[in-house]
Amino acid sequence: MALKVYNVLSRTKQDFVPLNPGIVNMYACGITVSGDAHIGHAYQSVVFDVITRYLRYLGYDVKYVRNYTDVDDKIIANAARANEDPVEFAEKYIAQTDIEMDKLGNEKPTIMARATHCIDDIINFVQKLIDSGHAYVSQFGDVYFKLSSFNEYGKLSHIQVDKNDTGVRKETEPGKQNDLDFALWKSAKPGEIAWKSPWGMGRPGWHIECSAMNLKYLGEQIDIHGGGRDLVFPHHENEIAQTESLTGKQFAKYWIHCGLVKINGQKMSKSLGNGILLKDVLDKYDADTIRFALLRNTYSADIDITDSLFPESRRHIYKMYSGLMALNERDFSGADADKTNAKIDEIKNEFERAMNDNFNTLEVIASAFGWFNFINTELAKKSTEYDLKRIGNKIVELFGVLNILQKNPDEYINNIKSTVLKNSNITVGDIEKYINERAVAKQNKDWATADNVRTKLLDKGIVLKDTPNGTTWDINL
């Protein structure tokens, strides 16, 4: 069972064979910190976090580089609007995003690169492109990549561009020779943040930043380059043009792109005002719930964040943790070791088959429903031949690749319960009082009052269960 990866460059699913045996160098385009991170950023970061974790599970030594774009037009404009210094503005959002990514359960990438920390590398890169005839300096101190100098332009996106088109939007970018040429270095407007360069004061363009950081941290050729699908054109196409013009070698062997986020079936956009901020989701839901929701999808497909997505996801996670918790209350010492081992192998194979098929986390989660059904069915029996505790441990171990189900089940269940109680504005003491009130009503055969109590609690998300040992309660997710 070898890993197969859908390569956007070849548009086929290919066997994954890294450039150097045992080592994977991966770069994924990160966030432009012009404001709060949104759910689209969360989706992309979780996808590449899980890809990294699975490659490590397979035994690869993975170096994962991710960047923060910490200087660009939008950051400068938003900082000005907020009356803040653009560097401090970017710092603030980087610090905040770091905390949110950690809360989301993402492992820190091997290197978190930043554009403003690589200015010398960017300037060197641009100078080399000028020296080799792939770029030119305008009379205004801007540097442009000369698109007609790179024959393979369009090979990733399959977008055909007329490289000899000379239509120039002189009013927006004076000094450009060809409309399709793109900026490598932008001369500074008065008062703007700027760095010294051979072409005057200015700052890097967005595309060159990623090419320069790749070269600096990972070398001329890398195994995987990733990002959201919206980056294929022109960002990644431009990265290829820059890097391959400089090195004369193929840049990334595999290009992996995740789908985009929709909100209740609609494109997420500023104009629709339907954006969801990561911090707001993290306020309401725990990382297991969010990751489960985002990974119950094939990464290359768009994901639809419906109103019911996270609540439903939390229900599943709650059930899974409850299943794991129940395993601690039983003794499996008489179990059949061979049967248990066979079941564990079956689960491991199902997991690896799904993940080896282009990191199919949707399939993993679908299989996991089957595994938990198996556990619950066996648990319901008076006795079982399986050591369900060992099987549960294996599931938890495999789910480590998704970074889901890694918490102590008792703690998780208690946390969810207290969140629900807090949101419903009710305490355990209140619930116990209601239960007593209902018991008294039932004793007096006052069924209306008893029903009333039950309904009142249900409205607050609390469900009562009458057992031979008295009435217990649970949350009704």
Instruction: By CB under 5 A, name the binding residues for Zn ion.
Output: 29, 210
Pick 29 or 104: Cβ nearer Zn ion: 29
Radius of gyration of the chain (CA): 27
d(C-alpha 53, C-alpha 65), whole Å: 14
Closer to Zn ion by CB, 236 or 314: give it: 236
Q: How far is CA 458 from CA 84, 260, 308, 309, 424, in A?
A: 48, 37, 19, 21, 11
Cα gap 20→221, rounded to integer Å: 11
Given the structure tokens 């209601």, which residue do they identify?
A: 434
CB 237 within 8 A of CB 156: yes
Q: Which is nearer to Zn ion, 97 or 384 (CB)?
A: 97
DSSP H or E segment with residue 422: helix 409-424
Short-list 215, 216, 214, 217, CA closest to 226: 214
Q: Tokens 């929709």, residue? A: 262
Cβ of residue 216: shortest distance to Zn ion, in angstroms? 13
Structure tokens, 394: 């294996």
Nearer to Zn ion, 130 or 210 (CB): 210
To the nearest whole angstrom, how small is the minimum distance from the Cβ of residue 69 to Zn ion? 8
Question: Cβ–Cβ contacts within 10 Å for residue 237, how many?
Answer: 24
The distance of closest approach from Cβ of residue 44 to Zn ion in the complex, given in angstroms and rounded to an integer, is 12
Cβ proximity to Zn ion, 90 vs 210, nearer residue: 210
CB of 16 to Zn ion, least distance (A): 22
Q: Which is nearer to Zn ion, 115 or 324 (CB)?
A: 115
Please state the closest distance from residue 205 (CB atom) to Zn ion, in A.
Answer: 11
Shortest distance (Å) from residue 209 CB to Zn ion: 7
Coil, strand or helix: which one is 123? helix
Identity at 112, one-letter amino acid code: M
Q: In the complex, what is the shortest distance from the CB of residue 29 to Zn ion, in angstroms, rounded to a whole number?
A: 3
C-alpha span between 43 and 200 (Å, rounded): 39
State the nearest-atom distance from the C-beta of 68 to Zn ion, in Å: 11
CB 136 within 8 A of CB 102: no
Q: Which is nearer to Zn ion, 260 or 379 (CB)?
A: 260
Measured from the CB atom, the residue of 29 and 101 that comes closer to Zn ion is 29
Tell me the β-bridge partners of 239: none
| Residue 251 tokens, joined | 């840049």
Report the alpha-carbon distance of residue 325 to residue 307 in Å, rounded: 29
Residue 220 C-beta: closest distance to Zn ion, Å = 17
* Residue 145, CA distances (Å) to 148, 156, 235 in order: 9, 18, 13
CB of 326 to Zn ion, least distance (A): 46
Residues 6 or more apart whose CB falls under 8 angstroms from that of 452 comprise none
Q: Residue 230 or residue 432: which is nearer to Zn ion going by CB? A: 230
Residue placing its CB nearer to Zn ion in the complex, 27 or 434: 27
Residue 286: CB atoms within 10 A of its CB come to 20
